[in-house]
Amino acid sequence: MSSPVSSLRILPAAESAVEESPSAAGGDFASTLRDAVSEMGHLSSQAETKVASVLEGNGTDVHTALIAVEKADLSFQLMMQVRNKIVSAYQEISRMQF
């Protein structure tokens, strides 16, 4: 009887990911971060619009507005955690002795 673990194979990592230059990876991180901040702003403005529409009585569903507010809140919380990790990494690097 064969074990389910023995049938698993470990696949090699994609070579393109291994051969990236540091400058290309830095540009990717910065653009990813910029896109995430932009998306967070978009979700926040969308939530504000839906809440204002509900308050004005334009027929917008309350549930849709609440979902938009929760999406914006989760996006904000995620960005705060990313910021905290970046600050923590910077502080750790600044403590290193060369």
Q: What is the pTM of this model?
A: 0.64
Confidence of residue 18 (pLDDT cuts 50, 70, 90): very low
68/46 Cα distance (integer angstroms): 7
pLDDT score of 19 more than 70: no
Alpha-carbon distance values, 46 to 68, 71, 80 (Å): 7, 10, 19
pLDDT score of 88 more than 80: yes
User: Chain-wide mean pLDDT for the chain?
Assistant: 80
| H-state helical runs in 1-97 | 15-18, 22-56, 62-95
What tens digit of pLDDT does each residue of 41-73 get? 999 999 999 999 999 988 778 999 999 999 999
36/12 Cα distance (integer angstroms): 30
